């Protein structure tokens, strides 16, 4: 029997976590909570015949409730174990509300609210066993849980409320540390953000979007390569997107997202060196490249439909056009490289020819830092000039959580690691300053102005950041506070500060080009098919950098 169903085994491990704080509870004779601190005792979820100190929810005309803080963003739900109901009833009716912020867990589902049950039910009414049982509820992304007893005149004695975390149990061959504790923490938070989104497939977010958005995956796969190495979830997700998008369709409805699919495959092959897997993509890849080339016009423009870069750039038509144009150039460049590896000489020539045609035109970028960064990375703009004129002014302002990664990369290519580190501290550090434990779908520095932390209930005169801000499809509480596309600093710190660059497919040769910026030292490791490469850099008194590298056999190290 087990052999027959083995292929359906969940790849994730389940962990149980007690709450670490009672953030709110109802008070007064009508709806009382007694001994809420008993829930912080880290009890198990086993029902017992005997009793002990219990948290009691008591309804006397009102509804008793409380708000629990589990300390960090999780993916999963809660287990509730009751000792008894005061009336002897065998079940009790509870309303359970999950929230990525404290305010979201206290919100209502109503027309005037931005709170939703989209993608995952986070606000529900359930009947749970109050006679020798434990009940598990939920499958969403959350940190906070509010419980309300709904039965009139009832009281329940709660033994334990534990969050359960579903997560893949993974080794981390990649690591990063430096003398700046904030920068080190940002690397860790980016790694954890992506780890939570490594479910059956690679998702955008654990609350929403619980979907495979191929373009959004590129920062995630870059982080996976820096932290976890060649994990199966990347080819599983790439193949899923391919099989769900028969040609001549565009992945997720956007030609630009099909371009990202090509770029991910190029980067994945460079690290894994798995030619067999690459050759499995040949029929689809050749058809996709031919479709893209068919949209390249002789004057250096293209007429690919439905141009999309990212949501914050949508209001800037020049920025969208320039960014997609640069992405088109990079996709054709990557396609040519992959065709050469697969022995498809004619397809390689066609890609090179179309790439040269697109390079003959440098579109106006409308001041979009996202578009400018992609143009610099594609070679349409000089990285140093682009950085000095457009990316460095105003630093962290005008970037997005998704394409901010490419702004960092462009500044790294310009040799401006100090400026990029400042952006990382201010922008991604700004989310941490508001109580984040994972990185968000969207963020703007203005949100720091009089903003309430997400781990507090907003007080009078303070702005509820989660409920107030966001735009497009992520307004208010629909806004994801755990979004893998925001993990870019993790990949960037490994590539530019540790300076690990793949010089030959399969990591057979690595180039070490550290940029410490304003850091005194940095150390860490980078995953390869041969095992992790350990790297350490320290600034000498004369300003030069001392580097130590410990690489497994089979890897050639060059210093650039």
DSSP string, 329-386: HHHHHHHHHHHHHTT-HHHHHHHHHHHHHHHT-----TT-HHHHHHHHHHTSS-HHHH
For residues 20 and 40, is the Cβ–Cβ distance under 8 A? yes
pLDDT confidence of residue 6 = 65
Domain ranges (residues) in the chain: 2-167, 249-257+274-381, 503-559
**Residue for token digits 């968000």?**
440
pLDDT confidence of residue 47 = 86
pLDDT confidence of residue 1 = 53
Say how far residue 227 (Cα) sits from the centre of its chain: 13
For residues 294 and 328, is the Cβ–Cβ distance under 8 A? no
CATH 2.60.120.260 fits 2-167, yes or no: yes
**Residue for token digits 């697109």?**
358
Quote the tokens at residue 383: 């990285």
pLDDT confidence of residue 112 = 85
- CA distances to 327, 341, 346 from 360, rounded to whole Å, are 15, 26, 22
Question: Per the omega criterion (within 30 degrees of 0), is the bond before 209 cis?
Answer: yes
CATH topology of domain 503-559: Maltose phosphorylase, domain 3 (2.60.420)
Quote the tokens at residue 106: 């206290």
H/E stretch holding 429 reads helix 429-433
pLDDT confidence of residue 3 = 63
Neighbours of 39 (CB within 10 A): 23
Dihedral class, residue 443 (left if φ above 0, else alpha if ψ from -120 to 50, else beta): beta
Terminal alpha carbon distance of the chain = 56
Name, in order, each residue with C-beta under 8 angstroms of 15's C-beta and a sequence gap of 6 or more.
Answer: 164, 165, 167
Residues in the chain: 560
Distance of alpha carbon 532 from alpha carbon 526, whole angstroms: 5
pLDDT confidence of residue 59 = 95
Q: pTM, whole model, 2 decimals? A: 0.96
Residues of the chain with pLDDT under 50: none
Distance of alpha carbon 296 from alpha carbon 281, whole angstroms: 23
pLDDT confidence of residue 28 = 80
CA-based Rg of the chain, rounded to a whole angstrom? Answer: 26
Distance of alpha carbon 535 from alpha carbon 523, whole angstroms: 6
Pairing state of beta strands 556-559 and 13-17? Answer: unpaired
pLDDT digits 0-9 by tens, 43-72:
999 988 877 789 999 999 899 999 999 999
The torsion of the CA quartet 44, 50, 53, 54, rounded to 10 degrees, works out to: 70
Quote the tokens at residue 460: 């009078």
**Residue for token digits 């629990």?**
68
b (16+ CB within 10 A) / e for 41-60: eebebebeeeeeebbbbbbe
Q: Whose CA is closest to 19, among 39, 47, 43?
A: 39
Distance of alpha carbon 422 from alpha carbon 445, whole angstroms: 13
Distance of alpha carbon 452 from alpha carbon 439, whole angstroms: 17
Distance of alpha carbon 63 from alpha carbon 42, whole angstroms: 25
Q: Residue 396, class by beta-carbon neighbours within 10 Å (0-12 exposed, 13-18 middle, 19+ buried)? A: buried
Alpha helices in 30-155 (DSSP H): 102-105
The torsion of the CA quartet 36, 41, 44, 47, rounded to 10 degrees, works out to: -40
């Amino acid at each position: 029997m087990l052999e027959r169903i083995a292929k359906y085994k969940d790849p994730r491990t389940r962990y149980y976590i007690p709450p670490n704080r009672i953030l709110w509870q109802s008070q007064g004779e009508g709806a009382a909570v007694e001994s809420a601190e008993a829930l912080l005792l880290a009890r198990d979820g086993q029902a017992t015949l005997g009793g002990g100190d219990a948290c009691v929810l008591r309804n006397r005309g009102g509804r008793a409730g409380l708000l629990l803080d589990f300390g960090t963003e999780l993916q999963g739900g809660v287990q509730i174990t009751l000792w008894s109901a005061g009336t002897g009833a065998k079940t009790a009716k509870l309303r359970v509300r999950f929230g990525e912020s404290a305010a979201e867990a206290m919100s209502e589902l109503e027309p005037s609210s931005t709170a939703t049950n989209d993608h995952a039910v986070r606000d529900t009414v359930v009947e749970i066993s109050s006679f020798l049982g434990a009940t598990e509820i939920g499958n969403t992304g959350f940190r906070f849980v509010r419980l309300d007893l709904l039965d009139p005149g009832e009281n329940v004695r709660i033994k334990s409320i534990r969050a359960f975390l579903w997560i893949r149990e993974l080794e981390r061959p990649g690591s990063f540390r430096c003398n700046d504790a904030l920068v080190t923490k940002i690397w860790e938070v980016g790694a954890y953000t992506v780890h939570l989104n490594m479910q059956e497939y690679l998702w955008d977010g654990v609350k929403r979007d619980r979907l495979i958005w191929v373009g959004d995956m590129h920062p995630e796969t870059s982080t996976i390569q820096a932290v976890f190495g060649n994990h199966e979830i990347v080819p599983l997700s790439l193949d899923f997107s391919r099989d769900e998008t028969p040609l001549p369709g565009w992945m997720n409805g956007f030609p630009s997202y099909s371009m990202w699919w090509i770029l991910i495959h190029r980067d994945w092959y460079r690290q894994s060196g798995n030619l067999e897997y690459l050759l499995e993509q040949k029929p689809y890849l050749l058809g996709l490249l031919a479709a893209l080339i068919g949209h390249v016009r002789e004057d250096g423009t293209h007429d690919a439909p439905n141009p999309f870069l990212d949501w914050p750039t949508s209001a800037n038509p020049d920025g969208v056009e320039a960014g997609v144009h640069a992405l088109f150039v990079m996709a054709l460049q990557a396609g040519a490289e992959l065709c050469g590896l697969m022995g498809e000489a004619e397809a390689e020539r066609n890609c090179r020819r179309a790439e040269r045609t697109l390079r003959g035109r440098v579109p106006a970028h409308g001041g979009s830092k996202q578009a400018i960064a992609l143009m610099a990375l594609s070679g349409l703009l000089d990285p140093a000039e682009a950085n000095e004129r457009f990316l460095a002014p105003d630093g962290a302002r005008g970037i997005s959580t998704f394409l901010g990664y490419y702004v960092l990369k462009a500044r790294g290519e310009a040799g401006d690691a100090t400026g990029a580190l400042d952006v990382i501290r201010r922008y991604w550090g700004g989310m941490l300053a508001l109580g984040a434990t994972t990185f968000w779908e969207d963020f703007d520095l203005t949100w720091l102005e009089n903003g309430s932390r997400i781990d507090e209930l907003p007080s009078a005169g303070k702005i509820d950041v989660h409920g107030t801000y966001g735009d497009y499809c992520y307004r208010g509480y629909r806004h994801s506070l755990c979004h893998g596309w925001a993990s870019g600093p993790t990949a960037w710190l490994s590539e530019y500060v540790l300076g690990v660059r793949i010089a030959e497919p399969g990591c057979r040769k690595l180039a070490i080009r550290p940029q410490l910026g304003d850091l005194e030292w940095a150390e860490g490791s980078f995953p390869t098919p041969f095992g992790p490469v350990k790297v350490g850099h320290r600034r000498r008194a004369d300003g030069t950098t001392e580097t130590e590298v410990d690489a497994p056999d089979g890897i050639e190290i060059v210093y650039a």
